[in-house]
Each structure stands twice: as structure tokens, then as C-alpha cells.
Amino acid sequence: MADHEISPADDPAFALHEGGKMEIAATVPLAGREDLSLAYTPGVARVCQAIADDPSLLSRYTWVPNTVAVVTDGSAVLGLGNIGPRGAMPVMEGKAVLFKAFGGVDGVPVTLDTQDTDEIIETVCRIAPGFGGINLEDISAPRCFLIEDALKQKLDIPVFHDDQHGTAVVVLAALTNALALTGRLFETTRVVVSGAGAAGVACARILLAAGVRDIAVVDSKGVLHPSREDMNPVKAALAGETTADTGRSGSLADVLAGADVLVGVSGGTIPEDLVATMAPEAIIFGLANPTPEVMPEVAHRHARVVATGRSDFPNQINNVLAFPGIFRGALDARASAITEGMKLAAAEALADLVGEDRADDFVVPDPFDARVGPAVALAVAEAARRDGVSRA
């Protein structure tokens, strides 16, 4: 047995997963012929014809407006990489369970046996009539950007890539409180994002939208800068956005010196001697799992506020704080899309839940805080109306 393999008999996770983590349950009785005649034929035919005549009735007489497809091709699953659609299924089931538990949303795992960008787009478009929203999950960059952009153009329901935007929303919420603790403003704070994959790009963009002006995004070859010729179109576009004011370039060491904030979404380890060059009362979010870019015991020697993606340290940047409430709000508003304003509203709602209780070890709410889902949903629904995408 390989070192990374664990015997099912020794691991309680296998026992929990026995038979899967979810099931379909009826919401109507089927106790006799009358129930059957209403739930199915002949009664169902009348409902079908009514919806065919007036498609808007779909939102009243089916589960579609409360149902989200959790779609993956298995190409970037957790920290496991490209393990394919079958290996990804337990994660998609887990995501669906989280949707239900934290947002009251019915999530349906959809694992696609293709990693062709055009085929994924076509397949999701074809199944879209059966869903109120599409949650893209664990699809590798840069294809994830192309897929999301194409689906947003083709579909009139919310499309959301959680690995990008869920992470970004929670990072913004946590940073809002961390900046308040350290007496900083978005407009004058220097930020370094280590990692230019799905999460790194989304974090950089939401921070720009929130008012950050000095932000450097670093990949394995250095700072994203327009002078580089080795970047894909997504990185090239981001390079123009992030260097327009500062023109920063070079290596991670070059931009980390004097920086106020480090957001790690790369999976690589950042040496302590580089961390030590950051500004006083620095803020470090090391979000790689299971090993943060900067371990908390190291980060605390040089930073005031430290966050990770792990549940065994304070300040967990956990996507479950964002995506259930975001979809709940979008579905409640019958939104045709998820806008930047809706994401910013979700982050503000999360930050506000911490409020005056904020502390160095408390910059985001606990995932089990019962206020989280409703607060995010309300803020997102209101933003959908302000942004003109609500049909409720």
C-alpha cells in the first residue's frame, strides 16, 4: 500500500462515505392512487402543458428555481489535482450537502467525463433548463475562466465558479476586518497575491473592485507584468489591471518587501526571511491546504493578523461562508447573473457579522454561525435588485 493510501477499515471518513452522502427525497405524499394520479399521470400532464404554454410557471411548479448543478470535470480537485470525474464525486456530493445545510439550496452533483472546454460548455448549456443556477467546481485554470465566461454569456441563470469567487469573497471579508484592526485603508494598502490560478486571479480582481490600488500578483515566474511574454490571456489582462498605477515587477522577494498584506493561494512555501521583510503589523493569509504558504507559528512572528484555510487554526477562510448564501440570495431574487456588486455585498455582510467583536484571531464569522447564510442571502438579493438582474 502506498504511503498516501489509508485502509478503509482504519479511517472513519470511509465509514461516513459508505453509500454516499446524499439522497433524493419526495416532498409530496405517495400513499395511494389519488396521490399517484396527481404527482404523476394524469395530473402531471396538465402542469406540463401549462409550463409549455407559459415557461415562467417553471419557477412555481418545479424544484428548478431552488436547484443548482454542481459541475466538475475533475481536473483540479482539492489538493489532489487531475483525478477525473469519478474521483471528484465525493467532493461534489459534499458540496451539495453544504448547499443544503447552509443555504437550503438543492445541489445536484454533475461530473463530466470530458475535459474539453467546448464540450463542457455545450453540455452545461444543454442541461441548464433543469437548474436554477450553475456552480462550477474544481476545474483547472485557465480553462475555468473560459468556461465561466462563455456560460455567463449563453445562460440567463447565475453561473459561479466557487474556487474563484467564493474564496475571493471570504478573503475580502476577512481583509476588511484585518485592515480595520491595523488602521489601514484599502486605497493605501500594499497587497501581494502569491498565486495566479483561479483563486489568485479572483482575489486580485475583487480587491481591486474594493478599492485596493497597489497590488502585485505573483506566479512561479514572477510578478504579472505587461512586459512578460509567457502569460496566458487571463494573466496578461490581470497584469494590465494590477500594474496600471504602480508598475511593480520582478520577483516575490521584490514586491513582498514592505508589503502590508500577503494572500497566499499558490500552494508553495514562502521562506521566513522574505516574510520578515513585510511592513510592521502585517496581514498574512496563507490559504493553501493542508500546508499554508506560511505556517501560522512562522507568520505570527512577523504579522498581526494571520488566516489560513484550515479549520484547526483561527480565522479560517472557508468558502462555505460564501457560496450557500450567495446562491440563496441569487435564487430568491431570481437573478439572471451574479454580478460584481452581489459578490461585494456578500463580503460586506460577512465582515459586518464580525463587526465590533473583531480581533486578531476573529476576522471572519464561524461557518456554523446561523446568521451567516441568511445575512449573505439578504445582501446578495438586495444587490441583485440594485444591479438590475433581479426578476423577482
119 belongs to an annotated ligand binding site: no
Q: Of 40, 61, 100, 154, which is the active-site residue? A: 40
Taking alpha carbons only, the member of 167, 124, 129 closest to residue 148 is 124
The region, left, alpha or beta by phi > 0 then psi within -120 to 50, assigned to residue 345 is: alpha
Q: Is 289 annotated as a binding residue?
A: yes
138 annotated ligand-binding residue? yes
Residue type, 77: V
Residues 34, 42 contacting (CB under 8 angstroms): no
How do strand 222-223 and strand 261-264 relate by DSSP bridges?
Answer: unpaired
What's the CA gap between 377 and 345, in Å, rounded? Answer: 9
Phi, psi of 161 (to 5 degrees): -95, 105
Q: Which residues are within 8 A (CB) of 367 and not within 5 positions of it... i.e. 6 or more apart?
A: 102, 316, 318, 320, 321
Cell of residue 175, nine digits: 481583509
Active site annotation includes 61: no
318 known member of a binding site: yes
Q: Is 40 a catalytic residue?
A: yes
Q: Which of 95, 152, 235, 343 is catalytic?
A: 95
Q: What angle do CA 230, 84, 161 make, to 5 degrees?
A: 60
135 is in an annotated binding site: no
With the C-alpha atoms ordered 259, 238, 345, 143, is the resulting torsion angle positive or negative?
A: negative
- As annotated, the active-site residues are 40, 95
Annotated binding site for (S)-malate: 289, 318
The binding site comprises 137-138, 163, 289, 318
